[in-house]
């Protein structure tokens, strides 16, 4: 209210020249608020405008820290502004900024030497000689946001009442910008926490599942030893190994997702890697009535690729394909489950496609599957597979594309730049 009254007063009192200058400043500040997204830079620009419009040599902006009930310098112009950033001023009558915050009204000091408030420590720190000073509070409704100070009137002995009114309007604009940024930050933080909570819940569920397998195999091993049943020992070791493998992959995926890894290209034959994986997975696919076929480039040269990356990508894509085909066949057994892995080479780029006739995905699903921890598999999936796969491909300078529609399977196609050896 005070600000609005001040602004109106200002407009009534101002001559034409002044009015033009003021409206230009307000327009520029509004433009700054609309176009600058980085809060610190935005405040920096508002303070420069403030200095100009009230003819101040320098200025500073202090923000209120409700946790410590004090003020700290967010922006401090002037020759040694940076050194003042460690100074904190309590919200009390001991300093001008503190008193402005307590009283929530402007304080205009025409000559600092006559002021009982004057605390020369800050001047000593900044090696700046303050002659006169004007401080105004920044607030939103009743909430204190901070204090703006302008120092040393350039063409005059001290700051005027008009200067106070202009600065109050600018302080109000700055307060709105700060509050918006703080609210935005709080919202982002809340979203991050929610996402983190979901991720932790998902991983805990997954790990709990693996632990159940581990506990089962431990009691099986106990029984096997007690009864000297070696066949049972074999079976329990199988469960133990599978559980170990699941935790191992989880940790590997989490590490590559959070840290990333440097590609480590070596001379390899990509077709050989595909064939090895085919051998590894064809039996378990067949046990689910799914046939895997390979269709490899005949003239594939030995290439310069990262074999671990290639293996990891293929493993994730083939596992997903098996899951999707299996899920579809449970509901609709015809046509028989089929996965085709094909490779080709051209323009120094290796292209591999993993195509399946599984469930397929809606367009909306296709947008979401790349997000870490998005999974439709409950506790049997972590939702990290595709996020990691895409990251590894992009780290190698490649691309990953998807063609799919609901009920018509999916085709994941990736390209890796790989010069011949």
Which one, 95 or 375, has the nearer CB to Mg ion? Answer: 375
Query: Between 250 and 338, whose beta carbon lies closer to Mg ion?
Result: 250
Among 376, 399, 403, 413, binds ligand ATP (CB under 6 A): 376
Within 273-332, the residues that bind ligand ATP by CB under 6 A are: 316, 320-321, 324
Kindly list the distances between the CA atom of residue 56 and the CA atoms of 1, 53, 82, 115, in Å, as whole numbers in the listed order: 25, 8, 19, 19
Residue whose CB is less far from ligand ATP, 50 or 353: 353
Q: How many residues bind ligand ATP (CB under 6 A)?
A: 21
CA angle 304, 307, 313 (to 5 degrees): 120
C-alpha torsion angle, residues 210, 215, 221, 222 (rounded to 10): 170
Which range touches ligand ATP (CB under 6 A), out of 14-22, 70-78, 179-187, 356-364? Answer: 356-364
Structure tokens at 22: 């003021």
Q: Which candidate, 294, 402, 396, 289, places its Cα nearest to that of 344?
A: 294
Per-residue binding string, ligand ATP, 103-142, x by CB under 6 A, is: ----------------------------------------
Q: Which member of 50, 359, 396, 418 binds ligand ATP (CB under 6 A)?
A: 359
Which residues lie near Mg ion (CB under 5 A)?
A: 320, 385
Q: Which does 91 bind (CB under 5 to 8 A by kind): ligand ATP, Mg ion, none?
A: none
Report how far apart the first and last C-alpha atoms of the chain are (Å, whole number).
75
Contact between 369 and ligand ATP per CB under 6 A: yes
Q: Which residue is nearest to ligand ATP (CB)?
A: 385
Round to whole Å and give the CA distance between 35 and 25.
15
Least distance to Mg ion, CB of residue 320, Å: 4
- DSSP tally for the chain: helices H, then strands E: 11, 13
3-state SS string for 55-93: CEEEEEEEEEECCCCEEEEEEECCCCHHHHHHCEEECCC
Cβ-contact 168, 161 below 8 angstroms: no
Q: Measured from the CB atom, is 77 or 249 closer to Mg ion?
A: 249
Q: Which is nearer to ligand ATP, 252 or 261 (CB)?
A: 252
The DSSP secondary-structure symbol of 278 reads: H
Taking every pair of C-alpha atoms in the chain, what is the biggest distance, in angstroms?
104
Question: Which one among 97, 167, 318, 386 touches ligand ATP, defined by CB under 6 A?
Answer: 386
Q: List interacting residues with ligand ATP (CB under 6 A).
A: 316, 320-321, 324, 356, 358-359, 361, 369, 374-377, 381-387, 410
């Amino acid at each position: 209210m005070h600000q609005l009254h001040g602004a109106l007063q200002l407009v009534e009192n101002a001559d034409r020249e002044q009015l033009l200058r003021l409206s230009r400043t307000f327009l520029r500040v509004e433009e700054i608020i609309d176009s600058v997204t980085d809060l610190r830079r935005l405040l920096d620009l508002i303070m420069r405008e403030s200095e100009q419009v009230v003819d101040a040599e320098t200025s500073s902006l202090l923000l209120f820290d409700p946790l410590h009930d004090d003020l700290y310098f967010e922006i401090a112009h002037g020759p040694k502004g940076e050194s003042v950033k460690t100074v904190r001023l309590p919200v009390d009558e001991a300093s001008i900024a503190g008193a402005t915050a307590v009283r929530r009204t402007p304080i205009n000091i025409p000559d600092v030497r006559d002021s009982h408030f004057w605390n020369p420590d800050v001047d000593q720190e900044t090696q700046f000689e303050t002659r006169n000073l004007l401080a105004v509070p920044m607030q939103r409704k009743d909430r204190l946001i901070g204090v703006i100070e302008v120092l040393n009137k350039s063409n005059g002995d001290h700051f005027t009442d008009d200067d106070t009114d202009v600065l109050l309007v600018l302080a109000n604009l700055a307060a709105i910008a700060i509050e918006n940024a703080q609210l935005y930050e709080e919202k982002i933080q809340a979203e991050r926490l929610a996402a983190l909570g979901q991720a932790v819940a998902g991983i805990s569920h997954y790990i709990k599942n693996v632990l159940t397998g581990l506990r089962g195999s431990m009691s099986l091993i106990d029984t096997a030893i007690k009864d000297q049943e070696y066949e049972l020992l074999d079976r329990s070791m199988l469960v133990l190994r599978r559980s170990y493998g699941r935790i191992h992959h989880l940790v590997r995926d989490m590490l590559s997702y959070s840290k990333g890894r440097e590609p480590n290209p070596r001379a390899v034959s990509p077709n050989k890697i595909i064939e090895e994986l085919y051998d590894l997975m064809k039996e378990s696919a067949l046990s689910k009535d799914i046939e895997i076929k390979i269709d490899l480039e005949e003239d594939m040269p030995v290439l310069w690729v990262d074999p671990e990356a290639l293996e990891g990508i293929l493993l994730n894509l083939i596992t997903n394909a098996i899951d999707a085909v299996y899920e579809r066949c449970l509901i609709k057994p015809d046509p028989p489950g089929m996965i085709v892995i094909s490779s080709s080479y051209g323009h120094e780029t290796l292209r591999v496609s993993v195509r399946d006739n599984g469930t397929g995905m809606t367009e909306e699903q296709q947008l979401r599957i790349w997000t870490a921890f998005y999974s439709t598999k409950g506790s049997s999936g972590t939702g990290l597979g595709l996020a990691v796969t895409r990251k590894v491909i992009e780290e190698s300078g490649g691309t990953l594309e998807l063609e799919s529609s609901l009920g018509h399977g999916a085709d994941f196609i990736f390209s890796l730049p790989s010069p011949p050896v």
